[in-house]
Amino acid sequence: MDNVGQRIEQLTTELNEYNHRYYVLNAPIISDYEFDQLLKELESLEQAHPELAKSNSPTKRVGGDITEKFEKVKHKYPMLSLSNTYNREEIIEWESRVHKGLGAGVDLFSLVEIEYVMELKYDGLAISLTYENGELIRGVTRGDGETGEDITANVRTIRSIPLKLRGNHPGLFEIRGEVFMPKAEFERLNAERLAKGEEPYANPRNTAAGTLKQQDSAEVAKRKLDCFLYYVYADDVAYNNHFDAISHASDWGFKTPPALLRYIEKTTTVDGIMAFIEHWDKARHDLPFDIDGVVVKVNRYAQQEELGLTTKSPRWAIAYKFKAETVSTLLHKITYQVGRTGAITPVANLEPVFLAGTTVKRASLHNADQIEKLDIREDDYVFVEKGGEIIPKVVGVDTTRRTEDSKPHSYITQCPECGTELVRREGEALHYCPNENGCAPQIKGKMEHFISRKAMNIEGMGSETISGLHDQGLLRNAAGIYDLRSEQLLGIEFTVTDEFGENPKKRSMQEKSVNNLMAGIEASKQVPFDRVLFALGIRFVGETVAKKLAKHFKTIDAIASATFDQLIEAEEIGDKIAQSILDWFAIEGNRNILERLRIAGLQLALAEDESAPTSDTLKGLTFVVSGVFQHFSRDSIKASIESNGGKVSGSISKKTSYVLAGDNMGPEKRKKAEELGVKIIDEAEYIQMISGE
């Protein structure tokens, strides 16, 4: 055992070092393969000896811990925001306020030397990290500034955040920084989504925010978030200013802004501040991550303290926000896009123009109201802006350049794809094409969803194949996939375009890809019922709802014939979902597709072994599951209860037989269980229970 303990420790140290070299210093010293081998070794040792696994093990980087509910944590120091400035005058005003605040009087004014630190204003989310004895013990979001949420499990997956510190660091301290998604990762994620037929995310910031709030840390680990640290709260340290704190933090293993790249700089003058701002206003587009401005901080702690805080922000720091860049260009034509849901988006087709690092040819016009409000017309010169969103938008019209024969734009009334009269639901900004089963982009969208990874996962088929086969009349709906024959596909040509529908390239299907596709289609016939149900694309029936429905009703026929009241009896099925299911089955076209899928041999009922419990050890017992477990994921422990004949419930009541508690069980749940006198058991007791000992 001792040997195992030593090996675990050695692997941990080595992996932490390689990780730091790779993600913080950008200078790897071993190959990914070698890294993975060591990580695998550590993983298997920890699995075999769970008692030796540490909460800050490098294996935590890949996630797996689930946080059911993020606990609220009060910040030791409030997480303030910064006041914003937008021009040189405002910087001068701030700088003189700082001088006044620190000057003993007008005469002494010039004697006070003030050093400023300038940094990038990273466009992400603030995070507070607490370290005790060199170990990361907590990661908390900003929340409302007073209280944030504990997202430690997710934070552990961010590779540039050290789990164990190096060097001579304080015993207990807090460090704050910004978590963000690098541009390349954002683009990779969106390319993946587009290929699966999903809507792309709007911008890296929101995507990072959504990612950090995921309950399953394994999902967070898949998205390569990053973090720069920008403020240290520590006592008894050997430095007296912010700049040195940042450089010490770098020695402790944190990723801090490199001075060599001018991410951080010192100055004592307004000119120095402005030079930094001007440099980054231009150079920001070449950075591998988004910034929305620059932050200027008074360097010395004593001076920071003297200046103090207002209720909202420190007086010793200020943000300078970059303006969204605007250019003017000719709007040639307004066209319309039909989305997968039938939503219509008006698009401005522009004379190509260079803006914020890229050439812009198209911009969003949002909706009919926006066009009317700004009175945007074809052949106008329009102002185009690129803000935080990746898609540029038209923000105004240069009416001085409008020609005399210009006419107001009239919005379309019929679908540009299928000619159906558009509808606009009450209170909604967008027009929709209601022709769900007869409008090409909507049909394609449904099929793309059907084949996607979490649905039927048909290998060898992508959105281009779908689109090509549809346009050539070989595929009209999901059921048609199972009628495809190799002879039809061989040599068939289709066009591949980039995400903007541009740069078309021709491709033809060769024997290998045809075989691959046919094998993918055949394999999908074994996809379990709940995923088939999800693949049907019934509105509001996502992955989880599909699982619940499958478990409750067991067959598609039982769902199809269920009444509204029967539907809402199932766990998590509310009025909205129930109505949507009824609506879906009421459409004859949908029922036809379903019958054809049945003939094709898809799984339209739970497999025997999924529906029948394998033992009745837990018969008559109801469990509430809370916290994180060593040997089970949350889903697998629930499945284990059910396959042993027990029931799982979401909330504790008098009917609950046991609360099954893992690590980090919520305190409210514990309190409730104690109040109602429900017995709390741990994982070991549970395992004993089902093994019948």
| Residue 264 CB, nearest approach to ligand IVH (Å) | 8
User: Is there binding between residue 319 and ligand IVH (CB under 6 A)?
Assistant: yes
Instruction: Please identify, using beta-carbon distances, which residue of 23 and 230 lies nearer to ligand IVH.
Output: 230
Number of residues binding to ligand IVH, judged by CB under 6 A: 15
Among the listed ranges 120-128, 204-212, 493-501, 571-579, the one in contact with ligand IVH (CB under 6 A) is 120-128
Binding mask 135-174 for ligand IVH (x = CB under 6 A): -------x--------------------------------
Cα 508 to Cα 491: distance, rounded to the nearest angstrom? 5
Question: Which letter does DSSP use for residue 482 in this model?
Answer: G
Quote the radius of gyration of the chain (alpha carbons, Å). 30
The amino acid at 659: V
Q: By three-state DSSP, how is residue 80 classified?
A: coil
User: Is there binding between residue 295 and ligand IVH (CB under 6 A)?
Assistant: yes
H or E element: which one contains 228? strand 226-233
| Residue 139 CB, nearest approach to ligand IVH (Å) | 14
182 with 226: CB under 8 angstroms?
yes
16 with 9: CB under 8 angstroms?
no
| Residue 356 CB, nearest approach to ligand IVH (Å) | 19
Instruction: Please identify, using beta-carbon distances, which residue of 293 and 346 lies nearer to ligand IVH.
Output: 293
Among the listed ranges 92-100, 115-123, 523-531, 585-593, the one in contact with ligand IVH (CB under 6 A) is 115-123
Instruction: Please identify, using beta-carbon distances, which residue of 180 and 658 lies nearer to ligand IVH.
Output: 180
Instruction: Please identify, using beta-carbon distances, which residue of 69 and 312 lies nearer to ligand IVH.
Output: 312
Tokens 């000119």 -> residue: 271
Among the listed ranges 20-28, 311-319, 460-468, 667-675, the one in contact with ligand IVH (CB under 6 A) is 311-319
**Checking phi first, is residue 385 left (phi over 0); if not, alpha (psi -120 to 50) or beta?**
beta
Instruction: Please identify, using beta-carbon distances, which residue of 178 and 530 lies nearer to ligand IVH.
Output: 178
- Contacts to ligand IVH from residues 366-385, by CB under 6 A: none
131, 186, 231, 289: which one contacts ligand IVH (CB under 6 A)? Answer: 231
517 with 461: CB under 8 angstroms?
yes
Among the listed ranges 79-87, 209-217, 516-524, 620-628, the one in contact with ligand IVH (CB under 6 A) is 79-87
384 with 394: CB under 8 angstroms?
yes
| Torsional sign, CA 129, 132, 136, 137 | negative
| Residue 178 CB, nearest approach to ligand IVH (Å) | 5
374 with 394: CB under 8 angstroms?
yes
Among the listed ranges 116-124, 209-217, 387-395, 453-461, the one in contact with ligand IVH (CB under 6 A) is 116-124
| Residue 564 CB, nearest approach to ligand IVH (Å) | 47
Instruction: Please identify, using beta-carbon distances, which residue of 296 and 556 lies nearer to ligand IVH.
Output: 296
User: Is there binding between residue 445 and ligand IVH (CB under 6 A)?
Assistant: no
Among the listed ranges 312-320, 330-338, 341-349, 360-368, the one in contact with ligand IVH (CB under 6 A) is 312-320
The string over 229-247, giving b where at least 16 C-beta atoms fall within 10 Å of a residue's C-beta and e elsewhere, is: bbbbebeeeeeebbbbbbe
Instruction: Please identify, using beta-carbon distances, which residue of 17 and 90 lies nearer to ligand IVH.
Output: 90
Nearest to 521 by CA among 555, 556, 479, 551: 479
| Residue 298 CB, nearest approach to ligand IVH (Å) | 11
Among the listed ranges 118-126, 410-418, 531-539, 621-629, the one in contact with ligand IVH (CB under 6 A) is 118-126
Bridge-based pairing state of the strands 658-661 and 679-682? parallel
Backbone angles phi, psi at 510, to 5 degrees: -100, 170
Instruction: Please identify, using beta-carbon distances, which residue of 189 and 317 lies nearer to ligand IVH.
Output: 317
Instruction: Please identify, using beta-carbon distances, which residue of 122 and 534 lies nearer to ligand IVH.
Output: 122
- CA max distance for the chain: 93
Bridge-based pairing state of the strands 344-355 and 325-338? antiparallel
46, 65, 119, 417: which one contacts ligand IVH (CB under 6 A)? Answer: 119
Strand extents, DSSP E, 356-468: 358-364, 381-386, 393-397
Instruction: Please identify, using beta-carbon distances, which residue of 154 and 626 lies nearer to ligand IVH.
Output: 154
| Residue 289 CB, nearest approach to ligand IVH (Å) | 11
User: Is there binding between residue 122 and ligand IVH (CB under 6 A)?
Assistant: yes
Among the listed ranges 121-129, 353-361, 518-526, 574-582, the one in contact with ligand IVH (CB under 6 A) is 121-129
Backbone angles phi, psi at 186, to 5 degrees: -60, -45
Determine the Cα angle at 261 with ends 259 and 267, to 5°: 50
User: Is there binding between residue 126 and ligand IVH (CB under 6 A)?
Assistant: yes
Instruction: Please identify, using beta-carbon distances, which residue of 155 and 295 lies nearer to ligand IVH.
Output: 295
DSSP 6-70: HHHHHHHHHHHHHHIIIIISS---S-HHHHHHHHHHHHHHHHH-GGG--TT-GGGGG---B-SSP
Instruction: Please identify, using beta-carbon distances, which residue of 35 and 231 lies nearer to ligand IVH.
Output: 231
443 with 458: CB under 8 angstroms?
no
Among the listed ranges 75-83, 190-198, 541-549, 561-569, the one in contact with ligand IVH (CB under 6 A) is 75-83
Name the closest residue to ligand IVH (Cβ): 126
Cα 51 to Cα 47: distance, rounded to the nearest angstrom? 9
Angle formed by the axes of helices 463-471 and 440-451, nearest 10°: 140
Active-site option among 54, 60, 121, 407 = 121
User: Is there binding between residue 209 and ligand IVH (CB under 6 A)?
Assistant: no
8, 246, 317, 602: which one contacts ligand IVH (CB under 6 A)? Answer: 317
20, 61, 75, 121: which one contacts ligand IVH (CB under 6 A)? Answer: 121
| Residue 598 CB, nearest approach to ligand IVH (Å) | 54
Cα 612 to Cα 494: distance, rounded to the nearest angstrom? 46
| Residue 311 CB, nearest approach to ligand IVH (Å) | 13
| Residue 142 CB, nearest approach to ligand IVH (Å) | 6
**Checking phi first, is residue 445 left (phi over 0); if not, alpha (psi -120 to 50) or beta?**
alpha
| Residue 265 CB, nearest approach to ligand IVH (Å) | 12
| Residue 121 CB, nearest approach to ligand IVH (Å) | 4
User: Is there binding between residue 205 and ligand IVH (CB under 6 A)?
Assistant: no
Cα 539 to Cα 536: distance, rounded to the nearest angstrom? 9
35, 131, 201, 230: which one contacts ligand IVH (CB under 6 A)? Answer: 230
Instruction: Please identify, using beta-carbon distances, which residue of 79 and 661 lies nearer to ligand IVH.
Output: 79
30, 52, 62, 80: which one contacts ligand IVH (CB under 6 A)? Answer: 80
Nearest to 235 by CA among 222, 247, 245, 220: 245
**Checking phi first, is residue 366 left (phi over 0); if not, alpha (psi -120 to 50) or beta?**
left
Q: How many residues does the chain have?
A: 693
- Establish whether 323 is a catalytic residue: no
Determine the Cα angle at 284 with ends 283 and 287, to 5°: 100
- Contacts to ligand IVH from residues 81-100, by CB under 6 A: 81-82
H or E element: which one contains 583? helix 575-586
Both tokens of 235, joined, read 């006592």
Cα 178 to Cα 225: distance, rounded to the nearest angstrom? 10
| Residue 71 CB, nearest approach to ligand IVH (Å) | 21
In the chain the first and final C-alpha atoms are separated, in Å, by 27
Residues that bind ligand IVH (CB under 6 A): 80-82, 119, 121-122, 126, 142, 178, 230-231, 295, 314, 317, 319
Point out the residues that are catalytic: 121
